Amino acid sequence: MKKIIFAAILMLSSALTFAQVDKIYKHNGEVVDGKVVRVEEYTVVFKYDGEDAENTIGKYAIEKVVYGKSGRVEEVSEKIVVNGKDDWEKVVILEEKSYIAGLKKGEEVRGKTGLINYHTGNTGDKKAEKKLKIAAAEAGCPFILMTADKSTVGASSNSLGGSQNIKKGIGYKY
């Protein structure tokens, strides 16, 4: 009888220990077992189960976190689905490298206005951004890490004195 009680206690304690592992559910279907250390504005810092090194993953890559100790579910971000050019407005431009942690690198994308453009206000900037997002959407990338954002005006732009906006980035997927 003592052996049965001891075995039951041992099984219960190991089950409780296992249940205390946090689960990070990524949009790509991967599940990470570990311990969430802290949740920051755009990232989640965690430790893999059985390790002490801290790792960072961007919130855009995470669907939800299930905390093992309490069972609480924290929804982190909605999955952005981009099926082609028509979904360009869904594309998110990121400016910090830490935000892409956990995402898969796609191709380089570029958006620019023509050489002979006379824009008022920031319309040239908006047109270049739209072209950049369209290029990412065509590549199936819901995210862009901005690598260059350049505007030229007058003679430094072209011999006709117009202006040009050029935006470059790298597309990222789940």
Residues 19 and 94 in one domain: no
pLDDT in tens, 3-49: 565 444 545 555 444 558 999 999 999 999 999 999 999 999 999 99
DSSP 52-119: --EEEEEGGGEEEEE-TTT--EEE--PPP---SGGGGGG-EEE--GGGGTTSEEEEEEEEE--SS---
Residues 91 and 166 in one domain: yes
Token pair, residue 108, equals 């380089």
Query: What is the reported pLDDT for 95?
Result: 87
pLDDT in tens, 95-145: 899 999 999 999 999 998 865 555 555 677 889 999 999 999 999 999 999
The model's pTM:
0.76
Residue 119 has φ and ψ, to the nearest 5°, of -105, 150
Whether 166 is in a domain gets the answer: yes
**Which domain, by its residues, includes 17?**
2-75
